[in-house]
């Protein structure tokens, strides 16, 4: 989901890393699907971006629902 947010005004990985205390390389690993985040980290990332944690979770739910509808 972070990869889809990257190009938007809502999410800037460098700024988000600086303001959240989450390492930028960790954000990129999350973006690539190599790492997962805890709920606490999700809130830190959201508070440092222009999105609320609720918006991030909602977008993730929509993304997962779309993948499920598309099938394998």
Tens-digit pLDDT profile for residues 24-59: 899 888 888 899 889 999 888 888 877 888 988 888
Question: Is 55 in contact with 63 (CB distance < 8 Å)?
Answer: no
Instruction: Of 28, 22, 36, 26, give the one whose Cα is nearest residue 3.
Output: 28
CA distance 63 to 14: 24
Q: What is the largest CA-CA distance in the chain?
A: 38
Mean pLDDT lowest among 1-5, 39-43, 47-51, 65-69: 1-5
Question: Is 11 in contact with 50 (CB distance < 8 Å)?
Answer: yes
Tens-digit pLDDT profile for residues 7-24: 565 667 788 888 889 998
Question: Is 64 in contact with 36 (CB distance < 8 Å)?
Answer: no
């Amino acid at each position: 989901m972070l990869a889809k947010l990257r190009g938007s005004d809502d999410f800037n990985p460098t700024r988000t890393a600086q303001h959240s205390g989450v390492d930028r390389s960790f954000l990129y690993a999350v973006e690539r699907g190599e790492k997962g985040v805890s709920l606490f980290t999700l809130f830190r990332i959201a508070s440092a971006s222009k999105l609320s944690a609720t918006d991030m979770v909602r977008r993730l739910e929509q993304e997962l629902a779309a993948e499920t509808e598309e099938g394998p």
